[in-house]
Amino acid sequence: MTARLIFSGIPADAFIKSVQYSEKNHILFIGTDSKGLIVINENRVEPKRRSDINPRNRNSYYAQIELDNGNILTNEGDIIGNSREPVSLPFKGKFTFNISITQDSLLWFSTLEPDLGHSCLHKFNRISRRITRYPELRADGVIAVSGKENFFASINGIYKLEADSFITLVRSSVQLFNNPVTDFKEIEPGKLAVATCGGLFRFNIRENKLDTLLKKEAGCIRTIWKYKEYVFLGSYGSGFFIYKNGIFKKMPVDKNKYLLYTHCFIPDDFGYCWISTNRGLFKASLKELLEAYENDTRTVYYHYFGKKDGMDMTELNGGCTPCALQMKNKTISFPSMDGLLWVNPEKARPVLPEGGIYIDEFLVNGRNLPPDSLDQVYLPANTNEIYIRLGYAAWCNKENIYLDYQLNDTMNWKTISTNDDAVIRLVGLPSGKHLLRIRKLNGFGIDNYSYSEIRFTILTPWYKQWWFYLLILFAILGIASLYSQIRNKQLLKRERKLEQQVAEKTSELKEQNEILEKNNSIKTRLISIISHDIVTPLKFVTVAGKNLIEKRALMPEELQQETIREMTNTAQELQLLSTNILNWIKYQNENRRLAKETFSLNDMINQVIGVISSLAKQKKIRLVNTTDPDLKIHQYFEPLKILVYNLLTNAINFSEKGDIVISVKPAEGMVILSVSDEGVGMTAEQIKNVMADQFIISSNNIDNKKGNGLGYLIIKDLVKMMDARLVINSRKNEGTTVSVYVPDGLSG
């Protein structure tokens, strides 16, 4: 029997009463008489540091290479390991964060060259022991292998390495990637991925083409690892991604989100992947990770290794090549901020969070209920808070305890924090039946959960019972009946008053409606006239004028004169029509207030003739006024003047020759004003249409003569306003006589 010291922290005065060792979990339990239970865990990881004191070198390591004797040479030039066998070094001194060994027995590294004043790439031939410098390849970079060819990527460009020279494939005069290259690996045949903090890029060797796979917004990409057809990408601050067939997916992380800072992926021989972060080390099942990618599952068991597993420093380093090193004896060496961390995947057997879920405490409004009687619980109606403290059988780290719960939900799970006590706090639940489901992740494996259920019922308060609602209903009906009786009396009184008001308002509305109907009719008439008899002539004037301007040189003088005459006539007709429209708008409202006056009919008629004489002269028509110069009338001056104006313009419009005679004859209580022409005349049917209230004569109503009927509309409105009477006598092709019987205040 031999003895080996494994722990020295047991109190010297502790009286040991029992000792038990868990072979499964590699835990030693020591029971004492007065010092409680002492639990000793086996270290599952091994921190490694240099044995000598070297103040010139840092304890923080990045790149590393295994020597022939099984020790590690770090980028600081320190040799760390258990072997004392002498070994020859490939080179002496420090090197940068990246070092690579290719299949052609070449060792690639970068180191500072004092004579150059910067770092440059070196190649060490492990067979010939010869070192080749590439002084032109400045700055730190990473080597990638595609087939039998070696490539080098740095912040300045991408190069192909051949023998002792290189070929520039892609280069920038300033900086190609704007950020240092952190990893460089082949992800598809002939396609290399370049990881930087400015994004992830892809270089096609055959096409010599560089494109972007992930932009800077995806985070600082630190590491690339290819597993079968899947590419794992670790980032600093954004978690990690898996890429396959052009599709990126962000993977779920651990509950504490340590995996947001993923430094490295290293597989072992047992189907697991070891992932380093700046807060500790994780072990995950590759099968679960690929299942999460393929089926978008959001839960993966990540087993955490930290200080309780033997780590002195949990901040592991990344952004280097290799990000971790699997040694010949299968031990994985991770660089950290204080030495190296060695993990033997076969011996680092994790203690999994296996076992059931237990209810340690069940509090309702601060009152404790026995946890063993929770099969069917009836809680009081005034339940405001339910406090449930959980227990679980697990000797693992709290970081590895994943607890979730559902309340009356079969889809979504809520996380239960295990940083202190595992507690579920339910507040303000409604009355009725409730189902609380709790699950615990038992370790690796898809859907590897333990479940527990609690069914409870919160009683309905008295003010929510059916009889209370019925009582409230009867009370409401009684109050409503009483209110209805009082209200009916008030409504009857108001109804009588409203009926009277409605009758008054109805009368007012009828009057307003008549006014609105008349206004609407006026608008309809105006729109019809303007749309046809103003717009159409204006189009003619526009087209004729344009032709006169553009084609004047091609037009004979006679045609030019005819065009000008037509434009002049059209403009004059538009002027007359516009005047009529303004007059109609002004006098169509028969509710206006005008004052009658006494004036000479002969003078008034001569004024009108003076205005339109030029129109008659153009058609060689003579206007004859036979009115007695001494005849006076007491009537509305301006309306009667407009009436005469429209009678004369209508006569001129529908005449081509002859005389137009204006005569006024006194009669009993009135005067008869007549306008006779020798024009086209009208049929009986046309006279009937003209005399109709709503009739509008269109441009072609009367023998294709131009006219719009607006003159007769104004005439009829003015006749009605003056309480006069209109009579039309006409025969086709023989002329027309229009007589207006106007009341005379002087004669009366």
Highest mean pLDDT, choosing among 32-36, 175-179, 298-302, 588-592:
298-302
User: What is the phi-psi region of residue 561: left when phi exceeds 0, alpha when psi lies from -120 to 50, beta otherwise?
Assistant: alpha
Give the pLDDT score at 549. Answer: 83
pLDDT in tens, 104-163: 889 999 998 888 888 899 999 989 999 999 998 877 789 999 999 999 999 989 999 998
CA distance 348 to 283: 10
Q: How many CA atoms lie within 13 A of 230 on its CB side?
A: 17
Give the pLDDT score at 201. Answer: 95
All residues at 6 or more sequence positions from 519 whose CB lies less than 8 Å from its CB, including other chains: none
For the ranges 158-162, 235-239, 509-513, the lowest mean pLDDT is seen at 509-513
CA distance 264 to 609: 109
Q: Where are the domains of the chain?
A: 1-42, 46-343, 357-460, 465-587, 592-743
Give the pLDDT score at 576. Answer: 66
Per-residue three-class SS string for 716-741: HHHHHHCCCEEEEEEECCCEEEEEEE
Give the pLDDT score at 699. Answer: 37
Tell me what percent of the residues of the chain surpass a pLDDT of 70.
91
- The mean pLDDT value of the chain amounts to 88
- Please, where are the H alpha helices in 400-465? none
pLDDT in tens, 243-289: 999 999 999 999 999 999 999 999 999 999 999 999 999 999 999 99
pLDDT band at 219 (very low <50, low <70, confident <90, very high): confident
CA distance 157 to 511: 92
User: Do residues 543 and 677 lie in contact, with contact meaning Cβ atoms separated by under 8 Å?
Assistant: no
User: Do residues 341 and 429 lie in contact, with contact meaning Cβ atoms separated by under 8 Å?
Assistant: no
Q: Homologous superfamily of 46-343 in CATH?
A: YVTN repeat-like/Quinoprotein amine dehydrogenase (2.130.10.10)
pLDDT in tens, 85-96: 999 898 888 999
User: Do residues 286 and 230 lie in contact, with contact meaning Cβ atoms separated by under 8 Å?
Assistant: no
User: Do residues 619 and 680 lie in contact, with contact meaning Cβ atoms separated by under 8 Å?
Assistant: no
Q: Homologous superfamily of 357-460 in CATH?
A: Immunoglobulins (2.60.40.10)
Give the pLDDT score at 326. Answer: 96
Question: DSSP states of 515-551 as a string?
Answer: HHHHHHHHHHHHHHHIIIIIHHHHHHHHHHHHHHHHS
Write the class of the CATH domain 592-743. Answer: alpha beta
pLDDT band at 747 (very low <50, low <70, confident <90, very high): low
End-to-end CA distance of the chain: 157
Tell me what percent of the residues of the chain surpass a pLDDT of 90.
55
At residue 107, what are phi and psi to the nearest 5 degrees?
Answer: -110, 125
User: Do residues 434 and 408 lie in contact, with contact meaning Cβ atoms separated by under 8 Å?
Assistant: yes
Per-residue three-class SS string for 128-140: CCEEEEEEEEECC
- Checking if the pLDDT of 693 tops 70, the result is no
- Checking if the pLDDT of 578 tops 90, the result is no
- Checking if the pLDDT of 530 tops 70, the result is no
**Cis ω on the peptide bond leading into residue 322 (within 30° of 0)?**
yes
Q: What's 76's DSSP letter?
A: T
Whole-angstrom CA distances from 22 to 8, 25, 28, 41, 257 are 19, 5, 6, 10, 31
User: Do residues 725 and 741 lie in contact, with contact meaning Cβ atoms separated by under 8 Å?
Assistant: yes
User: What is the phi-psi region of residue 644: left when phi exceeds 0, alpha when psi lies from -120 to 50, beta otherwise?
Assistant: alpha
Give the pLDDT score at 590. Answer: 47
Cβ atoms < 10 Å from Cβ of 448: 15
CA distance 728 to 711: 14
CA distance 687 to 681: 10
Q: Which amino acid is at 325?
A: L
- Checking if the pLDDT of 541 tops 80, the result is no
* Pairwise pLDDT comparison (83 vs 219), residue with the higher score: 83
Cβ atoms < 10 Å from Cβ of 462: 9
The helices-and-strands tally (H runs, E runs) of the chain is: 8, 46
Q: What's 31's DSSP letter?
A: E
Cβ atoms < 10 Å from Cβ of 257: 11
User: Do residues 563 and 570 lie in contact, with contact meaning Cβ atoms separated by under 8 Å?
Assistant: no
Give the pLDDT score at 335. Answer: 97
For the ranges 200-214, 381-395, 415-429, 537-551, the lowest mean pLDDT is seen at 537-551
- Checking if the pLDDT of 510 tops 90, the result is no
Question: DSSP states of 255-304 as a string?
Answer: TT-GGGBEEEEEE-TTSEEEEEETTEEEEEEHHHHHHHHHH------EEE
CA 43-46-48 angle, to 5 degrees, is 150
CA distance 62 to 109: 13
